[in-house]
Amino acid sequence: MSTAREAFEDAPAGSATPRALIVSLFGLYARDLGGWLATATIVRLMADLGVDDQATRSAVFRLKRRGWLEAEKQGRTAGYRTSAEALEILAEGDHRIYGRSRAASGDGWLLVAFSVPEAEREKRHQLRATLTRLGLGTVGPGTWVAPGHVEEAVLAALDRAGLRGFTDVFRAEHLSDADPRRTVRGWWDLESLEATYAEYLRRFTDVATRCESAAGLDDDDAFREYVPALTAWRRLPYLDPGLPLESLPEDWIGLRAEVLFARFRALLAEPAARYVRQVVRS
């Protein structure tokens, strides 16, 4: 897995590191502002999110070292631009995060079988990390599974990583009389996924309710609430690749979490962006 991609994924549902918050700033706002942010702007916006100057500069340094950010001056003003690799990752993330889709039972399954020579064991690690990142489950050693509707995304990710040659990819139909809920629970760690969704709901449900009940929420307050909610959310559509509801427990908790994130986005995305534009102009 590339270090730039690791930076994108550094966003556990219960907290947000300075590095993860900066990635969100660039993903949410920098691309619409020419792809570049002044260092002073990054520091000010991070201060609004409760991160001090030293922690911000340290996180920026790490993102630069990982290939996510590139230092660039505009005139006398120091700043940073998102790298080409990071832009590709952000574009992929847009589709997962905002173009969220869920498979139907008729979509079938995608099987990925791989075999990597011992001399290239690092490729084996990279392949497993890539398939895990994409939310694939495991059928058995060397055989991974995904709902059929993510075929294009899986193939594109394997191509980008140069790993397609180590894999055989199949479209499949599961022919079994077994309960699909039991089968899928054997392929994915649904208990862990449920706990992650529950943590998101625990952390942000009251925040969303408070924002909805507030009369005339200020743009800066919208920014302070929206960026952490987005940062915590963006990893979840990768952990859950949109499994068909027929194969999930009844009253699947992920649906409630999706509704909650949609509430945040509808309420806060535009005023938060307006605040950032104001800070950039100041």
Q: What contacts 111, CB < 8 A, 6 or more positions away? A: 139, 143, 144, 145, 169, 170, 171, 172
Please give the residue range of the domain that contains residue 117. 109-172
pLDDT tens figures, 19-36: 999 999 999 999 999 999
Clarify whether residues 73 and 122 are in a common domain.
no
Q: Is the distance from CB of 72 to CB of 36 less than 8 angstroms?
A: yes
Closest among 189, 128, 134 to 9, alpha carbons compared: 134
Domain end point (choices 35, 64, 94):
94
Q: Determine, yes or no, domain membership for 177.
A: no
β-pair partners for 38: 79
Q: Is the pTM of this model over 0.85?
A: yes
Clarify whether residues 82 and 134 are in a common domain.
no
Sign of CA dihedral 57, 63, 68, 70: positive
Clarify whether residues 218 and 249 are in a common domain.
yes
Q: Order the strands of the 36-38 sheet from edge to edge.
A: 36-38, 77-82, 69-74
As a whole number, mean pLDDT of residues 73-101 equals 90
Closest among 81, 139, 72, 74 to 112, alpha carbons compared: 139
pLDDT number for residue 262: 94
Clarify whether residues 83 and 10 are in a common domain.
yes
Clarify whether residues 89 and 156 are in a common domain.
no
CA distance 27 to 7: 12
pLDDT number for residue 8: 54
β-pair partners for 69: 82
Clarify whether residues 8 and 87 are in a common domain.
yes
Share of the chain above pLDDT 70, in %: 94
Q: Where are the beta strands (DSSP E) in the chain?
A: 36-38, 69-74, 77-82, 109-114, 137-140, 143-147, 167-172
Clarify whether residues 200 and 223 are in a common domain.
yes
Q: What contacts 24, CB < 8 A, 6 or more positions away? A: 11, 16, 227, 230, 231, 234
**What letter does residue 245 receive in the DSSP assignment?**
G
Clarify whether residues 90 and 134 are in a common domain.
no
Domain end point (choices 172, 197, 215):
172
Domain end point (choices 37, 65, 94):
94
Q: Determine, yes or no, domain membership for 197.
A: yes
Q: Determine, yes or no, domain membership for 182.
A: no
Distance of CA 236 to the CA centre of its chain: 6
Clarify whether residues 31 and 60 are in a common domain.
yes
**What's the mean pLDDT when you consider all of the chain?**
89
Total number of domains in the chain = 3
Orientation of helix 39-48 relative to helix 18-28, angle to 10°:
110
pLDDT number for residue 82: 95
CA atoms in the 13 A half-sphere facing the CB of 180: 17
As a whole number, mean pLDDT of residues 248-268 equals 93
Clarify whether residues 219 and 250 are in a common domain.
yes
**What letter does residue 54 receive in the DSSP assignment?**
H
Clarify whether residues 42 and 117 are in a common domain.
no
Closest among 208, 210, 215 to 263, alpha carbons compared: 208
Clarify whether residues 199 and 271 are in a common domain.
yes
Q: What is the CATH number of the domain that holds 164?
A: 3.30.70
As a whole number, mean pLDDT of residues 105-127 equals 87
Q: What is the CATH number of the domain that holds 20?
A: 1.10.10.10
